[in-house]
Amino acid sequence: MIPLRIVAFQPRIVITVAALCATLAVTTLLFYQVNAQSVGLFVTWRTLSTSFNTGELSAQGGAGAAAGSTTAVAPLPEMHIANNGLVLLRDAQVISTSGSTIQVEMNWNSVQFTWVVRTDSNTLFFTAAGEKEISPTIQTGDIVTITGLLLANGAHPAIDAEYIHIE
């Protein structure tokens, strides 16, 4: 004969098992929600960064940028100077060319930055499609991205250009 004490459910055991199951369910739900929110933030950030890189903004926020109407805006110019003298100018406008020297400018509201870009036989030129250009045809009004080393002479800051990407 089986003793009743072993077969009968103890209230403490039932309560402990129920509490453990409830804790497990709540923890699983919590981790699911945190993961779902982080995936949602990633998708929203990815959509926003894509819309900023393409120069498009949406009135509907992150979800609208992926599926809704977009309005094109002018690209934002960038200017970076690293500690080692490496310079990046993105979306600079060519204002003049003379031989191996190109003069570009960048505008932020009422502030104007003018740069002198020196090219030589080592400077590589690329088209908007990313293809290497052998005989570059840079004209006044072109938008370019330039990388090179900062030079320390002249009335305007100067760059010894390594790469010029014609937009």
Burial code of 81-102, b = ≥16 C-beta within 10 A, e = fewer? eeeeeebebbbbbbeebeeeeb
Which is it for strands 111-118 and 158-166: parallel, antiparallel or unpaired? Answer: parallel
pLDDT at 105: 93
Mean pLDDT, rounded, of the chain = 76
Domains in the chain, please, with CATH? 4-71 (no CATH), 78-166 (2.40.50)
Q: What is the pTM of this model?
A: 0.55
Q: What tens digit of pLDDT does each residue of 104-126 get? A: 999 888 888 899 999 999 999 99
| Residue 11 pLDDT class (50, 70, 90 cuts) | confident
d(CA 125, CA 161): 10
CA distance readout (Å), 2 to 5, 6, 100: 9, 8, 101
| Residue 92 pLDDT class (50, 70, 90 cuts) | very high
pLDDT at 3: 57
Question: Which run of H or of E encompasses 20?
Answer: helix 11-54
Q: What is the three-class DSSP state of 78? A: strand
For the cut 60, the answer to whether the pLDDT of residue 43 exceeds it is no
Mean pLDDT in residue range 69-98: 84
Contacts of 116 (CB under 8 A, 6+ apart): 101, 102, 103, 154, 156, 157, 158, 159
d(CA 159, CA 79): 12
For the cut 70, the answer to whether the pLDDT of residue 158 exceeds it is yes
